[in-house]
Amino acid sequence: MLKGNNITVRYGEHTVVDDLSFTIEEGQWLMLVGPNGAGKSTLIEAISQGVPYSGAFQLDGKDLRRYKPNQMARKIGVLSQNNSVGYGYTVDEVVGLGRYAYTTGFLSSADAEGGEQVQRALEATGLTELRHASVLTLSGGELQRTFLAQVFAQNPQLLILDEPANHLDLVYQQHIFSLIAQWLKTPGRAVLSVVHDLSLARRYGTHAVLMHQGRCAAQGEIAAVLTKENLHKVYHMDVYAWMQEMLQQWR
Amino acid sequence: MKKRTETFSLGIYLLFVAALTSSMLLCICLGSVSIALSDTVTALHNSLWGLEIPAGIAKSIILNVRLPRVLNVALVGAALSLCGAAMQGLLRNPLADGSTLGVSSGASLGAVLALALGITLPGTTHGGVMLMAMLFAFLALVAILGLAYGLDRSLSTNSIILIGVIFSMFASSLINLIISFAGERIKSITFWTMGSLSGTHFGHSLILGVAVLVLGGVILGYSRELNAFAIGEENARHIGVNVRRVKLIILVAVSALIGICVSISGTIGFVGLVVPHMTRMLTGPNHKRLLPASLFAGAIFLLLADLVARTLLRPVELSIGVVTSLVGAAAFVAIFWRTRKAG
């Protein structure tokens, strides 16, 4: 589905992503893991064409640079890390904008499936009751669900998530990840997400790319990547022992 | 949690038209000489259908003085307010307006130069000022966007605001420098910089009308994109908006419209800032409603401000910019106070 070939991103003299290659196929949930500053969010920015990069991303065999913004938005949906809205739009209006790519054209607004997709996205995220509420009145979790509903309404093949459970309490973390897992069950879809919590990555991911200082330290199936040795190389600590110590407190 | 529809119904538009028409009629009737509503309506009706206007009706005041002025005031008010609403959405900043870009300062610089140097166009009264204002508005736009692009290829909002503010300050200091060497022309320059639509004619109405129709039409056509920008530029890119192209088109349309308005009316402050702000409280932030409502509200607001400017200290006429700034500043403080109190 999506192939990244020799991707390099530089901010001036500083190389943030360094010659990284990866592949994600249909049905996979690829977790981008690694310590802070490893280049995970920058890689996502590059995929969404938000920063200049060298190398190429191939989406269904075609260079991503050759996609028009609306064509790309029909294939790839991105949920950012920090979403905030300055004006009092309703949940409905924010989610409805997810259909923008299907209605482009000056003054055009026809989108036959739009209403149904928005309705389904609101139902999936449990926002039907709040659809006419102003986003300024929502909690952090509700706002994150609103933007997730917007991406669902966008109906992409590939869902890219940058720390989707950031700032959310445990209930919402579990809720959001379950929603995404449910979304992935439909054939023809894939998920790529940046996750800091290795337990969440292990629980929901099928594959992983472990990043360190902009480079790929390991990649493949999740269990093969998140090994004690690989994690020690990247985090410079015994992650397994730390996790077990944390769990011991609850026993 | 009341449901709001995306666009206004025909009934609401008719209400807007009725409110605007009433305001225009009121402004034609009132002034240093008061004219009966029936006389005004008869004069306008007969003139429109080519009929003879009965003797005793102040035909010249209605048709040659007040009507063009009222038309120009309404068009400038509509344009400034529309541009302000668009800029507040595009830059995701409720304190932005058409002047945030620095284009109106550029236009002012051109006009002040024309007034100070006595640049005129043969056969016109203010042709030189208008031409120089439009030329400098365009040059300012090219300079600001060129600098913003050179600094950051993605034309980021922060770069545009920063360069716009710096350019405005630079243009203001140049204007002050010109004023200090302007000699006896200082009065006309000062009056122009405070904004006025007295002495404007149907030629101006034609230019403003076409500008509002074409450039305003472009801005209205990008309502959905403005909603996306108002929610967040990054989000706009993710849902498929061609961010750089749309931003460039809206900035050019706003700048051209502001440049044309400033070249005709001088600098009129606060309309683009306060009117969209107040309108948003009634319509909500969706640009499909906010833009058309701001257009009508701006026209009505400026008509009433012009009426106050003409009648408050009769026979002395105040500058319209002074009235809008006074009313606008007071309204802005009230809005700010209410918003902060509401938490």
Give pLDDT, residue A109.
57
Look up the pTM and report it.
Answer: 0.88
Backbone angles phi, psi at A54, to 5 degrees: -110, 165
Cβ atoms of B33 and B27 closer than 8 Å: no
Residue A8 has pLDDT above 80, yes or no: yes
Q: Which of A49, A87, A94 to mutate to test binding with chain B, by most B CBs within 10 Å of its CB?
A: A87
The residue of chain B with its CA nearest to that of A93 is: B286
Calculate the CA B141 to chain-centre distance. 17
Number of DSSP helices (H) and strands (E) in chain B, helices first = 16, 0
Residues 6+ apart with CB under 8 A from A118: A92, A95, A96, A98, A99, A149, A153
Separation of alpha carbons A94 and A145, rounded Å: 11
Q: Do B232 and A84 touch (CB under 8 A)?
A: yes
Whether residue A89 and residue B221 make contact (CB cut-off 8 A), yes or no, is no
> Are residues A16 and A184 in contact, defined by beta-carbon separation less than 8 angstroms?
no
| pLDDT for the residue numbered B154 | 66
Tens of pLDDT along B27-56? Answer: 999 988 888 999 999 988 888 888 888 877
Preceding omega of B315 cis (within 30 degrees of 0) = yes
Q: For residue range A55-114, what is the model confidence (pLDDT) as tens digits?
A: 999 999 899 999 999 999 999 999 987 777 879 999 999 999 999 999 855 555 566 677
Position with higher pLDDT, B32 vs A5: A5
Question: What pLDDT score does B1 carry?
Answer: 47
| Nearest Cβ partner for A89 among B237, B243, B286 | B286
Q: Does the pLDDT of residue B239 top 70, yes or no?
A: yes
Q: Which residue has the higher pLDDT, B142 or B155?
A: B142
- Give B 269-288 residues with CB within 8 A of chain A: 280, 284-286
What's B213's DSSP letter? I
Rounded Cα distance between A30 and B79, Å, is: 50
B239 and A133 within 8 Å at the Cβ level: the answer is no
Range from A59-68, B34-43, B59-68, B334-343 carrying the lowest mean pLDDT: B334-343
Structural domains present in chain B:
11-342 (1.10.3470.10)
Structure tokens at A8: 């390099």
Residue B108 has pLDDT above 70, yes or no: yes
**Cα separations (Å) of B121 from A88, B109, B127, B138, B208?**
49, 18, 5, 19, 19
Nearest residue of B to residue A72 by CA position?
Answer: B240
> Cα–Cα–Cα angle for B25, B26, B30, nearest 5°?
120
Do the Cβ atoms of A209 and A7 come closer than 8 Å? no
Residue B340 near chain A (CB below 8 Å): no
- In 3D, which of A91, A90, A104, A95 has the Cα closest to residue A153? A95
ipTM for the whole complex: 0.90
Give me the percent of chain B exceeding a pLDDT of 90: 37
Mean pLDDT computed over B177-197: 81
Count Cβ–Cβ pairs < 8 Å, chain A vs chain B: 83
Residues of B in contact with A151 (CB under 8 A): 238
Strands of the A62-63 sheet, one edge to the other:
A14-24, A2-11, A54-59, A62-63
Q: Does B4 touch chain A (CB under 8 A)?
A: yes
**Has residue B3 got a pLDDT over 60?**
no
Chain A residues whose CB is inside 8 A of the B230 CB are 86-87, 89
Question: What average pLDDT does the segment B14-33 reach?
Answer: 93
Residues 169-228 of B with CB under 8 A from A: 221, 224, 227-228
Mean pLDDT over B201-223 rounds to 94
Pair type for strands A2-11 and A158-162: unpaired
Q: Do A88 and B285 touch (CB under 8 A)?
A: yes
What's the pLDDT at A80?
87
Q: Please give the Cα distance from B79 to B260 (Å, whole number).
A: 10
Parallel/antiparallel/unpaired status of strands A76-79 and A2-11: unpaired
pLDDT(A15) > 50: yes
Do the bridges between strand A2-11 and strand A54-59 make them parallel or antiparallel, or are there none, so unpaired?
A: antiparallel
Contact B4 A133 (CB under 8 A): no
∠ CA B116-B112-B317, nearest 5°, is: 100
Cβ contact (<8 Å) for A68 and B242?
Answer: yes
The mean per-residue pLDDT over the stretch B324-336 comes to 83
Pairwise CB contact (< 8 Å): B284 & A85:
no
Judged by CB atoms closer than 8 Å, whether chains meet at B228 and A86 is answered as no
B1 touching chain A per CB within 8 A: yes
- DSSP letter at B125? S
| Chain A residues near residue B6 by CB distance under 8 angstroms | 93
Residue B258 exposed, middle or buried by CB count within 10 Å (0-12, 13-18, 19+): buried
Higher pLDDT: B4 or B217? It is: B217
Interval A151-192: pLDDT, tens: 999 999 999 999 887 767 788 788 889 989 999 999 999 999
Phi, psi (degrees; rounded to nearest 5) at B247: -60, -45
Alpha-carbon gap, residue A219 to A230, rounded angstroms: 10
pLDDT (mean) for B56-80: 91
Query: Rounded distance, CA B88 to CA B94, Å?
Result: 5
Q: Which two tokens stand for residue A10?
A: 């530089």
Distance in angstroms (rounded) separating the CA atoms of residues B203 and B206? 5
Mutation for B interface: A64, A91, A100, A134, most B CBs within 10 A: A100
For every residue of B26-84, DSSP letters joined together read HHHH-SSS---HHHHHHHHHHHHTTPPPPTTS-HIIIIIIIHHHHHHHHHHHHHHHHHH
State how far the Cα of A113 lies from the Cα of A128, in Å rounded to an integer.
18
User: Could you report the per-residue pLDDT of B266-322, keeping only the tens digit for each?
Assistant: 888 889 989 999 999 999 999 999 999 999 999 999 999 999 998 888 878 888 888
Q: What is the DSSP string of chain A?
A: -EEEEEEEEEETTEEEEEEEEEEE-TT-EEEEE-STTSSHHHHHHHHTT-S--EEEEEETTEEGGGS-HHHHHHHEEEE-S----SS--BHHHHHHGGGGGGS-STT----TTHHHHHHHHHHHTT-GGGTTSBGGG--HHHHHHHHHHHHHHH--SEEEEESTTTT--HHHHHHHHHHHHHHHTSTT-EEEEE-S-HHHHHHH-SEEEEEETTEEEEEEEHHHHS-HHHHHHHHSS-HHHHHHHHHHTT-
Name the residue in chain B with its Cα closest to that of A49.
B237
Q: Which residue of B has its CA nearest to A152?
A: B239
Question: Which of A44, A132, A138 minimizes the C-alpha distance to A96?
Answer: A132
Contact (CB<8Å) B239/A74: no
Which of B4, B231, B280 lies at the smallest CB-CB distance from A85? Answer: B231
According to the model, what pLDDT value does residue B342 have?
60
- Least confident residue range of A98-112, A197-211, B198-212, B246-260: A98-112
pLDDT in tens, A20-69: 999 999 999 999 999 988 899 999 999 999 889 999 999 998 999 999 99
C-alpha distances (whole Å) from B337 to each of A47, A118, B331 are 43, 37, 10
Residues from chain B that touch A83, judged by Cβ atoms under 8 A, are 232, 235
B72: closest CA of chain A, how far (Å): 28
Between B200 and B10, whose confidence is greater?
A: B10
